[in-house]
Structure 1
Amino acid sequence: MLAAADQPFPSSVELVLRRYAPLIDARGARSVAFEAAVTAMAPATKAAITADLKCFLAWCKSRRPVATAVPVEPETLVHYLRWLAKGSDTRAPARPATLARRIASIARVHRMLGFGEKEPLATQAGMVRDTLKGIRRDKRQRQRQAAPLRLGEAMAEGQGAPEGVTVKALLASCGTDIIGLRDAALISLAYDAGLRVSELVGTEVADLRQVGDSSGRLEIGHSKTDQLGEGALAWLSGDTMARLSAWLLASGLSEGPVFRRINVLTSPPDPAGQRVVRHYIGAKSLTRQGVVAILRRRVLEAIDLGHVELEPGMEGDTVRGLSAHSFRVGLTQDLFAAGEDGSGIALALRWSSPTTALRYARELAVGNNAAARVLGRLRDSEAPTVARSTANQ
């Protein structure tokens, strides 16, 4: 690893490695390779690897006898996976997707430290792969996908409008006060451009541009699939541009982050019992948690105002199923419902391949595949006959 003189500000990955140095054989480390690997990581990747590494090293230290973490033995990884999958009174059992990510992080750190070039890593051992397979079989669950937030209108002739929580319902819950203007602009922009939450909170005033037909363009500096910062352009509707303009005008923002925290200060009541409410716009952009909090608050308000109809008792599950990624999933499903193909959707939403788009639209695709189109028409026509025949028996 790099000496202090070469790297005055060590990365979070290196700080964790230094903290647990007795558990690590770093003789194979190459400082230049380590530096290059850390520099190439996206911030979110670096944060995930740091968290995964800290969890693994802390577990190794707690073992009796203390387990060597790097290079790790396959048997150690098997015990670690079982420990994660079992859970405890203070820790929920890890999901298969989380276990796979933990192992991938351990493998990546090994390679960064120079291991795995001459011999296979322990993470590739058969017993480790078999343990993962066994846990997946026991869990019998797919990775949970964020619930979609669709626009709320029929995308093609003959289709009905989506039910439940929709973008239109959320927009209807936003008032004309400054908080409502901000939330409406955020919701409309997140859907139109299919933004990841990092792209949404990173949007700045200078990234927005209006064109002649009243629509707009959003310049996205970099994203998960564009770590080199080549940039991309996203189309924005005239409605979204109007909502953005209303928010920026009301907030007085002309530069910097578009979406910021709004602090509310209420004065004590005067002799007439009146209170003065003042809003102060923060200097920093909203966080990921802030976006999720806004979304969930708007969902509950849309339900209370009657813009969303749910079965009694389903409010909690509905709110928990939504995340900042729901806008991206919803736009994907709406584009599929409108007849667009995976390649076009991947290009519009800045994916490196159509695979993810197809996964997000899997449920819609099943309802519109060849079997559904052909057999649905034939079998639906038989349904009344079958029903009458059954009733006569």
Structure 2
Amino acid sequence: MSDQESKSGESAGTQLAPLPSSAVEVRLREQMASAGRYREKSRADGTIRVYTSAWEAFARWCDQFHIEALPADPAAVATYLAWMADEGLAHSTISRHSAAIDWKHRTIGHPKPTARDDNNLIRDVLSGIRRDQRNRQSMAKVPVQAQHILKMLAQIDGNTTRAHRDRAILTFGIASAMRRSEIVALELSDIAFVERGMRVDIRHSKTDQEGRGEQIAIPNGEIIKPVYHLQKWIEWRGQKPGPLFTRFDQAGFLTNLPMSDRAIARLVKQYALKADLDPRSVAAHSMRAGFLTDAAEHQASIRKMQEVSRHKSVDILMTYIRSAESFDDHAGDSFL
């Protein structure tokens, strides 16, 4: 073997020699940490917020009964899900809470309750809830239109922080046509007031899981005046960064914590009842439906409706338009 070949062999051998065990461990830890970071990005921030809120609700329920939340016993999880059904929550919401409980266990490093559920309690309870709700006759939800919002506003008395917040939520809710999960996720910094109204940055939404963000415009308005009511609320809320719509604590003091989407739903039902609307036929989504119904009745174009509602498909928007135009040029006009 020549000297050059010998040196070349030594060089190759040096490059291929195994790393010291300590160096291997360091590299492995770095790569595992990288995998963890990518895993955290697998879910949109909005989904993580929803899961976190759901987990906190379960933890509070456990505290009431002195039950260990982490790790949770499958029987405790099944009981909690049944309680939620008795409280009137939808199967989709309950399933999301079950998934959030599993998610929390997985992120901490505990086995999921569903994986330890040898008797299939959780699965059977969820199945029973779904079957019960499917069989139960439910009242169709009706849209809450601008005329209804005016009646609801008339039921809010006083010049208090809570009164201004509730007025702002009702008027903003219909004017933005936003989902309740999107409303509670808004930050003060997402609102920009301009001469003709305001612009709202929606950082995350149901149809924007990658978090690209969307923006909508809301005019000042002359009837329900959504911009005026939001400005009044912000005057009382203050300019402290954080959630746009915040909750009150048990003592009635304003906090810097976001409202829950369930709180939005309860608020709409509360004022619907006071305005002589059947609260069973009203949901938070009714404000989104109300905007689209009013827009269709006032002959807004599909494109302009879509700019606000952000529906990816026009099929749903067409149902509002067909309903609004159902009596126009009716086939029976000439003989009925």
The one-letter code matched in structure 2 to 1:237 is P
Q: 1:373 aligns with which of 309, 314, 329?
A: 329
Q: 1:224 aligns with which of 203, 206, 227?
A: 206
1:240-294 Cα offsets, whole Å, 9 max, x none, are: 22111211212334421121112464xxxxxxxxxxxxx5211111011211222
Residue 351 of structure 1: aligned partner: 311
The one-letter code matched in structure 1 to 2:142 is A
Cα offset, 1:51, TM superposition: 3.0
Equivalents in 1 of 2:136, 2:294: separation in Å? 29
Cα 1:51/1:191, change in 2 over 3 Å:
same
Cα 1:291/1:92, change in 2 over 3 Å:
same
1:274-320 Cα offsets, whole Å, 9 max, x none, are: xxxxx5211111011211222222222333xxxx6xxxxxxxxx212
Equivalents in 1 of 2:97, 2:258: separation in Å? 24
**Structure 1 contact 193–234 (Cα < 8 Å) conserved:** yes
1:338-388 Cα offsets, whole Å, 9 max, x none, are: 1124343223211211123234x2xx624624x8623242244xxxxxxxx
SS state at 1:375 partner: coil
TM-score, normalised to structure 1, is 0.53
For residues 322-341 of structure 1, the aligned pairs below 5 Å read 322-341=282-301
Q: 2:47 aligns with which of 43, 47, 60?
A: 43
| Greater mean alpha carbon deviation, residues 51-60 or residues 342-351 | 51-60
Cα 1:39/1:366, change in 2 over 3 Å:
closer
Cα 1:247/1:264, change in 2 over 3 Å:
farther
Q: Give % identity.
A: 19
For residues 80-119 of structure 1, the aligned pairs below 5 Å read 87=128, 91=129, 93-94=131-132
TM-score, normalised to structure 2, is 0.61
Residue 259 of structure 2: aligned partner: 286
**Is it true that 1:261 corresponds to 2:247 in the alignment?**
yes
The one-letter code matched in structure 2 to 1:296 is K
**Structure 1 contact 343–353 (Cα < 8 Å) conserved:** no
**Structure 1 contact 192–235 (Cα < 8 Å) conserved:** no
More helix by share: 2
**Structure 1 contact 366–372 (Cα < 8 Å) conserved:** no
Residue 244 of structure 1: aligned partner: 230
Equivalents in 2 of 1:341, 1:193: separation in Å? 17
Q: Which has the higher contact order (CA 8 A, sep 6+)?
A: 2
Residue 185 of structure 2: aligned partner: 202
Equivalents in 1 of 2:285, 2:190: separation in Å? 21
Equivalents in 2 of 1:40, 1:206: separation in Å? 20
Equivalent residue pairs, number: 249
Equivalents in 2 of 1:229, 1:341: separation in Å? 27
Unaligned runs of 5+ in 1: 12-31, 64-79, 97-138, 153-165, 266-278, 309-317, 381-393
Unaligned runs of 5+ in 2: 1-28, 52-94, 103-111
